[in-house]
Amino acid sequence: MKTATIRENRKKLQALLRTLREEAGLRQVDLAQKLGKPQSFVSKYETGERRLDIIELLEVCRQLGISIVKLVNRLELLVDKHS
């Protein structure tokens, strides 16, 4: 996989996480409170300033009410759509 493609796919993940938060009717600060983190934590991973490890991603998914499997399936659709 080319570096540009990896970068593009990270941006798709960031956008998807934001979309999922918005679909859940949550503001960044609301999700951050559920996670026990500052609002900047959510902002930073949504903008790509910070990456989530798999355990953090699992917890974000739980707080958004979506399984990590569904998140990956949606991401895969986005990645495949633009390949």
Q: What is the CATH number of the domain that holds 76?
A: 1.10.260.40
Alpha-carbon distance 37 to 42, whole Å? 8
DSSP-derived 3-state class of residue 77: helix
Number of domains in the chain: 1
Domain of 69, in residue numbers: 3-81
Q: Whole-prediction pTM value?
A: 0.91
Locate 40 and state its tokens: 């900047």
Given a cut of 80, whether residue 59 has pLDDT beyond it is: yes
Given a cut of 80, whether residue 64 has pLDDT beyond it is: yes
Q: What is the pLDDT of residue 81?
A: 81
Q: pLDDT, tens digit, for every residue of 26-47?
A: 999 999 999 999 999 999 999 9
Given a cut of 60, whether residue 1 has pLDDT beyond it is: no
Contact 48, 42 (CB under 8 A): no
